[in-house]
Chain A
Amino acid sequence: MALDIALLVGLVLAAALAILAKDLIKAAVALAVSSLLLGIVFFRMSAPFAGVFEISVVAGLITVLFILTIALTKTDGEVQESRTALWIFPIFFIVFIAVDALVMKGLTAKIATLPAGPESGAFGDVLWKQRTFDLVGQLAVILSGVFAVLALFRKRDKDE
């Protein structure tokens, strides 16, 4: 339990660092650290497949894409973030956490849950047999993502 709390606190701190860091590369690396910690939390929740996806895809691939974009968009003038935004963040965060702590218990008591029996079988059965339609949707999403990136980088026609 103590390790879980330490991991979750580290996760939130890394996410806050990703927001607040001035250097974009540092922000991207902090985001990768936070998803690494999230993957470890998933492993500790006995969800190894989600943990593997989180660490390999989100911490690996998405960080590479972010760093590639930061390298491609180097500009002379850095974007000036407003100073009050950085200054207000700790106050906002403390107030938010306090409200969160007060409200969350009442909210979770009100959430209606569907009755569901305990699961049995392997993860593969659930993914391939129960959620087959989701997999078709995932294929469609990947294809549409590929076509969107292709469309965005299409060369102009000569007569334009």
Chain B
Amino acid sequence: MNSHWLLYLFFAAGLVGIGLYALLTMRNLIKLFIGIEVIGKGVSLALLATGFAKGNILLAQSLVITFIVVEVCLVATALALIVNINRHTKSLDVRKLTQLKG
């Protein structure tokens, strides 16, 4: 069971690494947000894998479902923000946000 846990945590860390790379290097706002989503996937995989390995799968499932609900609200709000930013700056480039005035 422990080797399964290690395997899942290994891949979860890989997902978090990919998301962090996107957050550090990308310039497109939607790409940045996809990076956040990938980090969220890694976190939910780690949560459920730990529940699976420790024999608490039901509790882990309810936590993952809570996380998914929060994620949906985050996505709706952030995408609405991105649409508004795009209306203001006519671009999706995150570097343009540093030139905002008044």
Residues of A within 8 A of B (CB): 1, 4-5, 8-9, 11-12, 15-16, 18-19, 24, 27-28, 31, 34-35, 38, 41-42, 45-47, 49-50, 53-54, 57-58, 61-62, 65-66, 68-70, 72-73, 75, 77, 79-82, 85, 88-89, 92-93, 96-97, 100-101, 104-105, 108, 113, 116, 118-119, 121-123, 126-127, 130-131, 134, 137-138, 141-142, 144-145, 148-149, 152-153
Interface mask (B55-71 → A, CB under 8 Å = 1, otherwise 0): 11111111111101111
- Chain A hits for B44, CB < 8 A: 38, 50, 54
* Chain B contact surface mostly: helix
Q: How far is the CA of A127 from the CA of B65 in the complex (A)?
A: 10
| Cβ distance A73 to chain B, nearest Cβ, rounded Å | 4
**Could you say which of A45, A72, A116 has the most chain B C-beta atoms within 10 Å of its C-beta?**
A45
Nearest residue, chain A, Cβ from B10: A104
Nearest residue, chain A, Cβ from B23: A19
| Cβ distance A49 to chain B, nearest Cβ, rounded Å | 5
| Cβ distance B9 to chain A, nearest Cβ, rounded Å | 6
Check A35–B41 contact: CB distance below 8 A. yes
Q: How far is the CA of A28 from the CA of B82 in the complex (A)?
A: 15
Q: Which listed residue, A11, A58, A144, touches B73 by the CB 8 Å rule?
A: A144
Nearest residue, chain B, Cβ from A84: B25
Check A153–B80 contact: CB distance below 8 A. yes
| Cβ distance A113 to chain B, nearest Cβ, rounded Å | 6
| Cβ distance A95 to chain B, nearest Cβ, rounded Å | 10
Check B11–A148 contact: CB distance below 8 A. no
- Chain A hits for B64, CB < 8 A: 42, 47, 50, 53-54
